[in-house]
Structure 1
Amino acid sequence: MAKFNRRQLITGFSALYLAALTAIAAYALHQTNFYSLPIPNVLSALTVALPPLAGIALESIISFQHQLVSKGKLQTSKVFQAVNVTFLIYETVLATLAGTHIAPLGGLWCPLHDKWQEMRTSRDAKSIQRIQDAFNCCGFNGPKDMAWPFPDKKHGADTCMVRFERDIGCLEPWRTTERKIAIMLLIVPVAVFLWKVALFLAPGFDAPWLPSAIRLPNDNTEEETRPRPAITYHDLEDNADEDSLRGEVNRLNKDSNLATHVEGGRIRPSPLIQETENNMWSRD
């Protein structure tokens, strides 16, 4: 079985993650058009484009920087910073615009009313019928409020209510659907931003070219493999409060005095041995 390195696994997971976000945004775009929601198509379309654009741009920059590093040209890329700031603005704008279709609930009434009135004025029977059939309702704010079939010589304002036996307006379920779709459109830019943060902070993501403001300190594996200096080692072991150099000098002096004392005791003969040697010489 083929083995994949860490970067390949991260790239594969990122591709699946961004594809899922693209699918969510595409579904939101489809639902926006299906229910004729007052959410601009340009907002939905830009949200659909965000995940693949972010993935392609970031992967291209990472590959380019790794090529520079392999050539010994380690540097923080100004292009990376510019692209990152651009996407941050992009994501913020999308999230803000999507948020305007979520709350407050009272503020959603006017856009929905204007949209329904626009469809009523343009005689867009197909769109209004689709909404009424989807939510089993009639009219906008009530079963007789701009409902389809439109009033004429053969149909009254209550035709929809009588024919389909519906007694509720479409405002509430239509507004709830708008909020759900807007939440999807909000999730996508937020999720893309979190993906980038997680990518930079992922263990083993080797990117020494990242700006220091967003780069975590490297793992301590390199530092742990290096031989620890004796002074630092003793400081950690003894938890000395004094200066490291002074403490080490004091320890060395103590060791030197101890060695001198031991050596002097070993060389100097004891009094008993000295007396025995003197007696032997006197006998001779």
Structure 2
Amino acid sequence: MAITMAGLNVAYALLLAGFTAIAIYVQVTSSTLSFPLSTGTTVLTIILPLLAAVNFFGTDLLKRTLPRRASASLTLQLYLPVVLQLIQGVLTVVLATLTAEGLEPVDCILEGNWSRLYRAKDDRALERIQDTFNCCGLRSIVDRTAPRGECKNIYKDRHDSCLSPWHASMQRSAGLDFAVALAVGIFQLVQLALFTVRSSKGGWASKRYGRTIQSIGSGPSDRLLGDGTANDDDDDDEDTSPEGNNGTSGTHHDYGTTEGGPRVQPSNLGDSSEENTWRS
């Protein structure tokens, strides 16, 4: 079981690392190609898998590292995981909503972004877009090109405008961010479900408590019957001596005679006139 859990932990860590790499790729692509995607959204998408890793692995680490009897440590162990789970859940919903907006048709937004770059004479940003998709201009090969009006003359092999491939690339990037947010949200739900199942079954504490209960009465003199009464079989199996076959008890109690010494006699009981049966 330990090997299985270790394998699951490794697989989960690799998945989160993959999600983080995808989010970083989207951030770099968005910055390079001047997508009208919020930088805050793409950066938070990078943070989301890292927060999920902290929630998944940090809780156990917190329990192992903090002193168990300190009141501040107990407060952290109780409330910090809950707060982090709430933050992750809210962030997942917000990012899924924001990235889903990038999947809708946004030609007008892209055109506004291109116009802003053209008015700012940011030819470097426009040329990065044109070079990436081997195109010129936005809606036609002569529409607001960079360098101004020279793209068609410089690049004779370019016959397509940039709006369609630029739009498709932006939608793909937004879709990747949306997939990251959705996948992290699903993993969080699975994690909470597994935690609920472990809690309902009692977890390690319940197993330890069960082992403690089973160990009660495990000693040779403390055996218990199913109804909780003591086992008296040992009392019936006492060793008997040969005299025990003649009707005497197998366990002989000698109340105090010593060989060659005086016999110890109790004082007279009852009427003093009765003869002592313990006469020497």
Please report the TM-score for the alignment, with normalisation by the length of structure 2: 0.62
AA at the equivalent of 2:38: P
After TM superposition, give the deviation of residue 124 of structure 1 in Å. 1.0
Task: Measure how far apart 1:216 and its partner are.
Answer: 7.6
Decide which of 195, 213, 231 is 2:187's aligned counterpart. 195
Instruction: Sort the Cα spacing of 1:7 and 1:64 in 2 relative to 1 into closer, same or farther, 3 A.
Output: farther
For 1:45 and 1:67, the matched residues in 2 are separated by: 30
Q: How far has the Cα of 1:78 moved from its partner? A: 4.0
Matched, 1:183 2:166: no
Change beyond 3 A, Cα 1:66–1:193: farther
**Structure 1: stretches of 5+ with no match in the other structure:** 151-156, 226-284
One-letter code aligned to 1:21: F
Q: State the shift of 1:200 in Å.
A: 4.0
Correspondence list, 1:67-86, <5 A: 77-86=78-87
What residue is the counterpart of 1:170 in the other structure? 162
Tell me what 2:117 maps to.
119
What is the aligned partner in structure 2 of residue 218 from structure 1? 201
Q: How does 1:89-108 map to 2 (within 5 A)?
A: 89-103=90-104, 105=105, 108=106
8 Å CA contact 2:51–2:88 kept in 1: the answer is: no
Tell me whether 43-52 or 160-169 shows the greater mean CA deviation.
Answer: 160-169
Label 1:216 to 1:191 Cα distance change in 2 as closer, same or farther (>3 A): farther
Q: State the shift of 1:67 in Å.
A: 8.2
Residue number in structure 2 paired with 1:145: 143
Residue 96 of structure 1 deviates from its aligned partner by 0.9
Q: What residue is the counterpart of 1:258 in the other structure?
A: none
1:88 paired to 2:89: yes
Q: How high is the sequence identity, in percent, across the aligned residues?
A: 25
- Cα offset for 1:193? 1.4
- Measured after TM superposition, the shift of residue 66 of structure 1 is 7.3
Please tell me whether the aligned partners of residues 55 and 81 of structure 2 are also in contact (alpha carbons under 8 angstroms). no
Deviations along 1:44-96, one digit per CA (max 9) or x if unpaired, are: 1111111112211332224445789x98xx99944333321211110111111
Aligned to 2:261: none
Q: CA deviation at 1:4?
A: 5.0
Could you say what the CA RMSD is over the residues aligned between the two structures, in angstroms?
3.4
Distance in 1 between residues matched to 2:198 and 2:37, nearest whole Å: 38
What is the DSSP-based 3-state SS (H/G/I as helix, E as strand, rest coil) of the residue aligned with 1:5? Answer: helix
CA contact (8 A) 2:19 2:180 kept: yes
Q: 2:152 matched to which residue of 1?
A: 161
Conserved 8 A contact 1:137-1:168: yes
Q: Would you say the 8 A contact 1:200–1:215 is kept in 2?
A: no
Offset of residue 163 of structure 1: 3.0
Distance 1:216 1:61 in 2: 15
Residues 186 and 146 (structure 1), Cα distance of their counterparts in 2 relative to 1, 3 Å cut: same
Output the CA distance in 2 between the equivalents of 1:176 and 1:216. Answer: 46
Structure 2: distance between partners of 1:131 and 1:67: 50
Note if contact 1:201-1:216 (Cα within 8 Å) is conserved in structure 2.
no
Q: Structure 2: which amino acid aligns with 1:45? A: V
- Separation in 1, partners of 2:13, 2:171: 28
In structure 2, give the amino acid aligned to 1:160. C
SS in 1 for 2:145: coil
> For residues 149 and 169 of structure 1, what CA distance do their matches in structure 2 show?
14
SS in 1 for 2:20: helix
| 1:61 corresponds to 2:59 | yes
Instruction: Describe the superposition over 1:192-249 as per-residue Cα deviations: whole angstroms up to 9, x where unpaired.
Output: 11222333445xxxx4xxxx5x768539xx8xx9xxxxxxxxxxxxxxxxxxxxxxxx
Q: Which runs of 5+ in 2 are unaligned?
A: 212-280
CA shift for structure 1 position 11: 2.1
**CA shift for structure 1 position 162:** 3.3
The separation in 2 between residues aligned to 1:162 and 1:23, in whole angstroms, is 39
Distance 1:89 1:7 in 2: 28
Distance (Å, rounded) in 1 between the aligned partners of 2:8 and 2:191? 8
Distance between the aligned counterparts of 1:118 and 1:19, measured in 2?
36
How far residue 19 of structure 1 moved from its aligned partner, in angstroms, is 0.5
Secondary structure of the residue that 1:183 maps to in structure 2? helix
